[in-house]
Amino acid sequence: MISKVNRLIEAMSRELPGVLSAAVVTVDDGLSIAEVSRVDGLETAAASAYLASIVKSNGKAIGLLADNEVTDDILITTTKYHFIIRHAPDQPFFIFVMTTRDEWLGKARMLMKKFETELARFADELVEQFRQAGV
């Protein structure tokens, strides 16, 4: 099952030339299930753990500010990069992508949504695999 997620994240990263790093991450503990990095020295797995806290905090804040709203994605922009986090509230995972500022955000969001749907098809199997492994 993990190999399917790895292939999925690899395919997504190939479709966006500006992707520097991407991962599928568990919301509860920030464990990186699958990741790809196009730049040496990026700590994608470590960053994923911190991003999980952003996903959880965002959910709480949105609940307080706009009770019936659901977050489509979380966008963090720096002078050089875009960090996009996409999490469907009914899924135990989120997708994280780091791109250059030159990457087209609309295309990145569209692709993440597409791959999120594909990931959701086998999310239950993946969760069960993690439970059995004691993760």
pLDDT at residue number 127 = 66
pLDDT at residue number 83 = 96
pLDDT at residue number 118 = 82
Q: Which residues contact 87 (CB under 8 A, 6 or more apart)?
A: 27, 55, 71, 73, 74, 93, 94, 95
Q: What are the chain's domains?
A: 2-133 (3.30.450.30)
pLDDT at residue number 134 = 57
The answer to pTM > 0.85 is yes
Phi, psi for residue 2 in degrees, rounded to 5: -60, -35
Cβ proximity of 76 and 83 under 8 Å:
yes
78: phi > 0 → left, psi -120 to 50 → alpha, else beta; which? beta
pLDDT at residue number 130 = 61
pLDDT at residue number 78 = 96
Per-residue pLDDT tens, the chain, 135 aa: give them. 678 888 888 988 888 888 999 999 989 889 888 899 999 999 998 999 999 999 999 988 998 999 888 888 999 999 999 999 999 888 888 999 999 999 999 999 999 988 888 887 777 776 666 666 655
